[in-house]
Amino acid sequence: MANRVVKCLVVLLLAKVCVAQERLNANLDVVVESAQVPGIIVDPATGEAVLIPGQATVISVPVPITPQPVPAPIPVPGRRGAKPRMVPVLPQEFAALDKNGDGQIGMYEWSRTKYAEFVKLDKNGDGFLTAQELGAKGISIGGRSRGGVSEKDALPNPGNLSAYGQKVGETLSFSVTGRIGGPIYGTGTYTTDSDLATAAVHAGILKDGEKGVVQVTIVESPNQFAGTTANGVTSSAWASYPSAYTVK
């Protein structure tokens, strides 16, 4: 009788073990080696994972993450890929003086013999000449320009305008160095035989010894020319003359 009871208990115990093992095998999604996960061994006969009694093991299966697209960088002004900033360019005649290529001319880059000219051009007194300061008045090295005509593009000083007396209404540009010793007739409007360099000083366009570009327009002669003293120059009065000019 006792043997039957023992046999029954053994059978029940084996049945429970089998049921527990079947549940474990049914719940395992991944088969691993015992060396990789403590508490689990692989049955050599079946190749299935078996839980070691008395040990607890937690298996975590990584969940795949869908990579998200990386947004494109937003262009920052002044950096590569951004819209380039527009920078004023120095007038061509001044570009060679910009030794360090920073788009402006410092006093240290200017000729030492022409510091007075630098100070005159430096409108804000910051010690640098910018494109605006050099281009606003159409100034060129060694002399002033007018009407967008530089010294190198202007005609040489003809002395007076007698040769242009028949070109009424025409405007010409001349490169002139102002002086005060030449003969002139008129005020504002001068006879064509008046000295151009002296007329430019009388009209306030140039100073004595200053070089620059002046614009001359041939005009109809007035009935008479008034004589005045202005800017250190005295002009003479004159009666009607065949032709005349204005200077600016």
Q: Cα separation of 198 and 160, whole Å?
A: 10
Contact (CB, 8 A) for 50 and 44: no
Q: What tens digit of pLDDT does each residue of 38-91 get?
A: 555 666 666 666 666 555 454 555 555 666 666 655 554 544 444 444 445 677
Q: What is the CATH number of the domain that holds 201?
A: 2.170.130.20
CB atoms within 10 A of CB 233: 22
Measured over the CA atoms of residue 41, residue 42, residue 43 and residue 44, the dihedral's sign is: negative
Name the residue with tokens 């006093």: 107
Contact (CB, 8 A) for 161 and 218: yes
- Beta strand segments in 82-195, E: 105-106, 128-129, 155-156, 171-177, 186-187, 189-191
Residue 240 C-alpha from the chain's centroid: 57
Is a pLDDT exceeding 50 seen at residue 29?
no
228 shares a domain with 187: yes
Q: Which residues contact 53 (CB under 8 A, 6 or more apart)?
A: none
Count how many domains the chain has.
2
190 shares a domain with 109: no
Q: What tens digit of pLDDT does each residue of 143-155 get?
A: 455 555 667 778 9
206 shares a domain with 173: yes
Q: pLDDT at position 97, please? A: 82
Where a domain ends, among 78, 102, 135?
135
Q: To the nearest whole number, what is the mean pLDDT of the chain? A: 74
pTM: 0.44
